[in-house]
């Protein structure tokens, strides 16, 4: 049953989606790329499963979430509605959440340490699933190695991501892990910096990775504020929340 409120929300999402598709098309045109090379992932964190259902009806079936408890609940609700979706886990991930995440995730974008690789692999194998994985890199330009280490932990202010020097080792470990499929790289642009240098470094890391692992073609980069810059640097997957769903309530972490 579609209520009047659903109809209004559907129209809002449709309008935002049209604007976003136009933005992606313009960025691709400027970069000499085909928009078909860029997958839109709708980041639905803080928004209800009803929004996911409306997005699916509008043709958006790649869905991103950054917290396991929220994602697991929403994935179950959407499965009960009979929706066929691909869930992308994009947030900092604790080892003890690996079993839950592999039960619904199509792709985990935030693989940044060896312990997580073994945990995800063991749980995916036990569940009889294969989970696609991206190596998340922290490519902030002004980070000394020690600061990069601190930022890659789950500590305060950390957005996750391994230093670029660890990319090859992590990728090899994913590729060798039963239950996991290495698919590429991901980054979150550093706050308050021009995102282009970080996205450019991600593109270089991707090229180096593909020389060893030709199947690792995914470059996950770009959010609402920097999607054009990400596309200019080769992003194949953009993760868009605000520009599609609207503002999230501010939260403290």
What residues line the site for ligand PLP (CB under 6 A)?
43, 45, 66, 90-91, 188, 223-225, 239-243
Q: Which is nearer to ligand PLP, 179 or 241 (CB)?
A: 241
Q: What residue is closest to ligand PLP based on CB?
A: 241
Beta strands 237-240 and 62-65: pairing type? unpaired
CB atoms within 10 A of CB 95: 13
Instruction: Tell me if 58 sits within 8 A of 13, measured CB to CB.
Output: yes
- What is the smallest separation between the CB atom of 237 and ligand PLP, expressed in angstroms? 10
- What is the smallest separation between the CB atom of 45 and ligand PLP, expressed in angstroms? 6
Q: Which is nearer to ligand PLP, 100 or 125 (CB)?
A: 100
What is the rounded CA–CA span in Å between residue 34 and residue 21?
12
Q: Which is nearer to ligand PLP, 28 or 179 (CB)?
A: 28
- What is the smallest separation between the CB atom of 253 and ligand PLP, expressed in angstroms? 11
| Burial of residue 24, with CB atoms counted within 10 A of its CB: 0-12 exposed, 13-18 middle, 19 or more buried | buried
Q: At a CB cut-off of 8 Å and minimum separation 6, what does 83 contact?
A: 52, 53, 56, 61
Q: Which two three-digit tokens encode residue 31?
A: 């970069």
- What is the smallest separation between the CB atom of 203 and ligand PLP, expressed in angstroms? 18
- What is the smallest separation between the CB atom of 191 and ligand PLP, expressed in angstroms? 11
- What is the smallest separation between the CB atom of 2 and ligand PLP, expressed in angstroms? 26
Distances (CA, A) of 229 to 65, 77, 136: 22, 35, 18
Q: Which is nearer to ligand PLP, 98 or 188 (CB)?
A: 188
| Burial of residue 141, with CB atoms counted within 10 A of its CB: 0-12 exposed, 13-18 middle, 19 or more buried | exposed
Backbone angles phi, psi at 32, to 5 degrees: 65, 35
Q: Which is nearer to ligand PLP, 53 or 186 (CB)?
A: 186
Q: Which is nearer to ligand PLP, 179 or 198 (CB)?
A: 198
DSSP β-bridge partners for residue 185: 135, 219
Q: Which is nearer to ligand PLP, 91 or 179 (CB)?
A: 91
- What is the smallest separation between the CB atom of 244 and ligand PLP, expressed in angstroms? 8
């Amino acid at each position: 049953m579609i209520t009047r409120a659903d109809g209004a929300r559907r129209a809002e999402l449709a309008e935002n989606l049209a604007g976003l598709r136009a933005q992606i098309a313009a960025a691709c045109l400027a970069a000499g790329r085909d928009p078909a090379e860029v997958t839109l992932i709708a980041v639905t964190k803080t928004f209800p499963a009803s929004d996911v259902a409306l997005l699916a009806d509008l043709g958006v079936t790649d869905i991103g979430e950054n917290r396991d408890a929220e994602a697991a609940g929403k994935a179950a609700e959407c499965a009960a509605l009979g929706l066929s979706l691909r869930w992308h886990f994009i947030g900092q991930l604790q080892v003890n959440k690996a079993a839950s995440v592999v039960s619904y995730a199509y792709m985990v974008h935030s693989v940044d340490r060896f312990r997580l690789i073994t945990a995800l692999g063991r749980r995916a194998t036990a569940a009889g699933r294969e989970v696609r994985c991206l190596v998340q890199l922290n490519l902030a330009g002004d980070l000394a190695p020690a600061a990069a280490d601190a930022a890659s932990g789950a500590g305060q202010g950390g957005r996750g991501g391994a230093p670029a020097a660890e990319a090859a080792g992590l990728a090899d470990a994913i590729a060798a892990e039963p239950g996991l499929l290495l698919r590429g790289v991901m980054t979150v642009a550093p706050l308050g910096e021009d995102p282009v240098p970080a996205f450019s470094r991600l593109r270089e890391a991707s090229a180096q990775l593909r020389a060893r692992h030709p199947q690792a073609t995914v470059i996950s980069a770009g959010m609402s504020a920097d999607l054009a810059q990400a596309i200019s640097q080769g992003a194949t997957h953009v993760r868009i929340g605000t520009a599609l769903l609207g503002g999230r309530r501010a939260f403290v972490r």
